[in-house]
Structure formats: C-alpha cells, structure tokens
C-alpha cells in the first residue's frame, strides 16, 4: 500500500544555500550558519522562532551538537539524519512530517558536507562497516559506469550514439550551471572536450562525473495554513516518498542495470500522493540525481519522463534542456552545481524554491506548474531513492 502522504499540508516558507565548491578556508560550522541564517532571513524570522531542527550529514559530523554550537540554538531538539547521498532529502522528509503531525509549528531542515579537505576524492568505495561479502568493492564511477553498456545492449544503441547522448547530458548541465552564481562549475564545456576527457571508468570520462564539493542548504517549513505569516509565495509539498530497496541487485540474475527499481517505486508512490497521472505531461521541471551521466539517462525512464528505450532520443532532441518541454537540472545538477552529500537534496529543493518564485534569473523556467526532485544514494541494484513533488498552488 502506498503512503497516504501529506499533500498541501506543509509549506516551505524560506530557504538558504551556500555556494557549492572548494571552501578551504571555511568549516562545516561556517557553512551551516550561512545557510541557516539565509533561510531564516528568507522567511523573515529570527532563529529563535524555529522549534526543532533536522540536520543531514554523511561524514562531516556527529549528533545535533554539530549545529547547536555554531548556530547557538539554545535548548532545542536537533536530530542528525543520514541516508547515503539522499541525506538532505531525508532531513526534509522528517521535518515535514513533524510539522504535518502537529508536533511543531516551525522547523528547519538543513544539510551540510565538507568534503574537499577531508581526503574524500569521490573514488572511494567505502568500507569499515561489516557486510555479508556480497557488496561490490568497485568505486562509485565504476559501478555506475555499468549502466552505459547495459543500456546500449538492451536498446540496440551503438556506442558512438550513446557517447553523444552522455556528452549532451554533461554539456546541458554545465551550460545550466554557467547561469548559476552558486554552482561549483560555472563554465560551458564544449562537447569535444567532454568526449575527449580522460577516462575514469568504462565509458565515463571526467565530465561524466559529478563534482566533490563543500556546501550547505536549509529550508524553513510550517503548516500550509500558516505560510502567509512568513511569505506570500510559499512552496507547497505535494508528495514525499522515500524507498529503501531490498539491496539484492548483485544477487539477482535478472537485474540488468538499465533501471533503478527503487526509483520506479518511489516515483509511483509520489505520483499517487500528488495525483500525478502522466509525469511526462504534468511535471514542468525536475532536479534529479545526476551523479553520473548514464544515471540521468536511466532516470528519465524510471521517472516516467520518457518511454522505455527512448530517453536517449529525448535527450538528443533537447527535451530536457532549458528551452525544452521538460527542463531537467536547470541549476546544473550534481554535475555542475556540485555534490556535498548532506546538502544535495536540499539544494534541489532550493532550486524549486527559486523557480516557483520567479527568482531563478537566466535559468528561469516559464510558468512551472509542478516540480520534482529526485535524490538517490547507494549503487545500481542497491540503493535508496527519494522523490518529491512540489508546487505553488
């Protein structure tokens, strides 16, 4: 049975986001404070008005003390959450449900990661946690690189065409990021440079992989009927879905690396909550988890934006570009905006906040009706997936 959802019962009334990138001279505390204060200013409140906090981080700190000390929150409940790369979205989900159930009136979801001076390269395969031995020891780029040849084989797409598709995805997201003053990478990258970049794993070159970043983002949430106290342009939550899959992809003979079943399930749940019947026609724009270019390709089909085996055509035809019918990652996505793990899900929502307020500047999508954010964590066949649907009305 799908979750009942909290459609139109919770509103986002303020948001803040740091620039993502290399912050060698700033710690996680500095980034948290910047994002939190910007969010409070956006909602026209003092930090003392916030009743409770949900803070997401994967590796940059432990417990609510990581936030209470620098932000000087006093004696307030702060819950630290983690769910792989979907940690920021998990903070939003928990905060929203706390408001919806009536436990609190005004809450903050905030996420942060400080990766650049931690020694994290983006190529680590993880470790230190006992497993049953069935998990892959490959790096993230290597694991996600398996999506490309699998898609090519299943749909009869020759390698040259597939390479053009992946290049178009990377080019699009860099072009969008070039319009974003808070993105880590703000430069258009020519297709030939993308195609000839040094290889990282399989078909994936440097420009097929998301950046390793520092950054933080935050949201202020309240009940929808109270939103007018803080803003005349709230962002209404239509659906929130979080799925943890059975993690059995590597054990199954029928798993073919051309889909994320967890994404399919979370999308179906979110669409049921929001009353969306045709995502291709009803979702105006999306922020998706483009950790690697073939991931975005597969997600277009898992989210129902393209028919199975047709996302590559839609990509080459420009459907998902800023001037297309269904812009995807208008802020540059993980690829160009960056990927400080605990903040990424909230950064996606920050773009929705700007877009629905008409404040996205050169990357503004005209008259959006519904927006979607998608955030996953883990690896193909073994992941968690979050999907939200939001709107202004």
Q: What is the mean predicted confidence (pLDDT) over 64-71?
A: 98
Q: Is 40 annotated in the active site?
A: no
CATH fold match for the domains 10-119+214-234 and 140-182+237-391: yes
pLDDT at 2: 62
- Percent of the chain having pLDDT more than 70? 97
Q: What is the mean predicted confidence (pLDDT) over 104-123?
A: 88
Q: Which of 17, 40, 85, 222 is catalytic?
A: 85
Summarised one tens digit per residue, pLDDT across range 325-369 is 999 999 999 999 999 999 999 999 999 999 999 999 999 999 999
Look at residue 173 and tell me whether its pLDDT is greater than 80. yes
Summarised one tens digit per residue, pLDDT across range 240-271 is 999 999 999 988 999 999 999 999 999 999 99
φ and ψ at residue 270, rounded to 5 degrees: -65, -40
pLDDT at 3: 81
Query: What's the chain's average pLDDT?
Result: 96
Lowest mean pLDDT of 63-67, 111-115, 128-132, 386-390, name the range.
128-132
Q: How far is Cα 79 from Cα 64, in angstroms, rounded to an integer?
A: 6
Task: Choose among 196, 195, 377: nearest CA to 295.
Answer: 377
pLDDT band at 118 (very low <50, low <70, confident <90, very high): confident
Q: Which of 40, 339, 374, 383 is catalytic?
A: 339
Q: At what angle do helices 159-177 and 293-302 cross, to 10 degrees?
A: 90
Which CATH number is 10-119+214-234's, of 3.40.50.10860, 3.40.47.10, 2.40.160.40, 3.40.50.10470? 3.40.47.10
Task: Choose among 289, 324, 317: nearest CA to 303.
Answer: 289
Look at residue 322 and tell me whether its pLDDT is greater than 70. yes
Summarised one tens digit per residue, pLDDT across range 16-34 is 999 999 999 999 999 999 9
pLDDT at 38: 98
The residues facing 385 across adjacent strands are 243, 376
Q: Is 85 annotated in the active site?
A: yes
For the chain, give every domain's residue range.
10-119+214-234, 140-182+237-391
pTM metric for this prediction: 0.96
| Block residue for tokens 């519904």 | 370
Q: How far is Cα 151 from Cα 137, in angstroms, rounded to an integer?
A: 22
Q: Cβ neighbours of residue 254 under 8 Å, at least 6 residues apart?
A: none
Task: State in words which class domain 140-182+237-391 has.
Answer: alpha beta
Q: How far is Cα 214 from Cα 347, in angstroms, rounded to an integer?
A: 12
Q: What is the mean predicted confidence (pLDDT) over 78-103?
A: 98
Specify the 3-state DSSP secondary structure of 364. coil
């Amino acid at each position: 049975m799908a979750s009942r959802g909290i459609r139109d019962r919770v509103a986002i009334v303020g948001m803040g986001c740091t620039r993502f990138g290399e912050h060698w001279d700033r710690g996680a505390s500095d980034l948290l404070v910047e994002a939190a204060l910007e969010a409070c200013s956006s909602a026209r409140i003092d930090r003392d008005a916030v009743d409770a906090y949900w803070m997401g981080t994967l590796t940059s700190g432990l417990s609510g003390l990581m936030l209470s000390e620098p932000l000087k929150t006093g004696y307030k409940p702060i819950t630290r959450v983690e769910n792989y790369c979907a940690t920021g979205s998990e903070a939003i989900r928990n905060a929203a449900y706390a408001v919806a159930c009536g436990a609190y009136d005004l809450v903050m979801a905030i996420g942060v990661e400080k990766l650049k001076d931690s020694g994290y390269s983006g190529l680590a395969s993880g470790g230190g946690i006992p497993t049953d031995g069935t998990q892959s020891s490959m790096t993230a780029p290597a694991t996600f690189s398996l999506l490309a040849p699998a898609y090519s084989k299943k749909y009869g797409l020759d390698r040259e065409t597939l390479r053009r598709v992946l290049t178009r995805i990377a080019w699009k997201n860099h072009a969008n990021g070039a319009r974003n003053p808070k993105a880590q990478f703000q430069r258009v990258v020519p297709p030939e440079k993308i195609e000839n970049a040094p290889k990282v794993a399989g078909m994936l070159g440097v420009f097929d992989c998301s950046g390793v970043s520092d950054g933080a983002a935050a949201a202020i949430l309240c009940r929808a009927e109270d939103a007018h106290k803080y803003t005349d342009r709230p962002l209404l939550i239509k659906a929130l879905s979080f799925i943890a899959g059975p993690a059995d992809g590597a054990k199954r003979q029928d798993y073919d690396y051309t889909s994320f079943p967890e994404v399919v399930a979370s999308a179906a749940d979110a669409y049921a909550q929001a009353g969306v019947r045709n995502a291709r026609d009803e979702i105006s724009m999306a922020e998706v988890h483009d950790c690697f270019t073939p991931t975005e390709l597969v997600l277009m089909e898992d989210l129902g934006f393209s028919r199975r085996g047709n996302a590559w055509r839609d990509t080459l035809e420009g459907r998902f570009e800023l001037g297309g019918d269904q812009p995807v990652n208008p802020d540059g996505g993980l690829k160009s905006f960056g990927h400080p793990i605990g903040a990424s899900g909230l950064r996606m929502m920050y773009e929705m906040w700007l877009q629905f307020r008409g404040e996205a500047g050169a990357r503004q999508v005209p008259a959006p009706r519904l927006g979607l954010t998608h955030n996953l964590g883990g690896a193909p066949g073994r992941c968690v997936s979050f999907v939200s649907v939001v709107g202004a009305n």
